[in-house]
Amino acid sequence: MANAHNAGFLALVADAKSRVAEIDLEQYKALVAAGEPHMLIDVREESEFAAGHVHGALHLGKGVIERDIETEVPDKSAKLVLYCGGGFRSALVADNLRKMGYEQPISLDGGWRALKDSGLPLA
């Protein structure tokens, strides 16, 4: 989100980021180039996803992912790379998935803003 964020939201994100793994775009591209098995999950709102997303990304918005993740990804050892607009909402989701027993939720720092100019195939 391009807007300035409220202090309470930023504190919540900072707390979540203290517990979750994060990678940047270059680390993600290296993961893809190495053929590392993972699932890319877009946690943005449906309208954001519809406007553009990484080809092959699974859409599970932040509002429903905790409800639906076990159906969509029952393997709690799967590597899950989560992205949102910039890396804040994905950190919150990664923290919740970690609490739900997922072993490898990873927040992509930079999110869609970094991905859309990455050279990765987009839809």
List domains and CATH numbers for the chain: 21-115 (3.40.250.10)
> Which pLDDT value is given to residue 34?
98
3-class DSSP assignment, residue 51: helix
pLDDT in tens, 16-74: 999 999 999 999 999 999 999 999 999 999 999 999 999 999 999 999 999 999 999 99
- Cα–Cα dist 28/22, whole Å: 10
Which pLDDT belongs to residue 4?
87
Tokens linked to 32 = 């893809």
Reported as a single tens digit per residue, the pLDDT across 67-117 is: 999 999 999 999 999 999 999 999 999 999 999 999 999 999 999 999 999
| Cβ-contact 107, 66 below 8 angstroms | no
As to burial, measured by CB atoms within 10 angstroms (0-12 exposed, 13-18 middle, 19+ buried), residue 49 is: middle
pLDDT value of position 58: 98
**H or E element, residue 46:** helix 46-51
pTM of the prediction?
A: 0.94
| pLDDT band (50, 70, 90) for residue 1 | very low
Q: How far apart are the C-alpha atoms of 92 and 14, rounded to whole Å?
A: 9
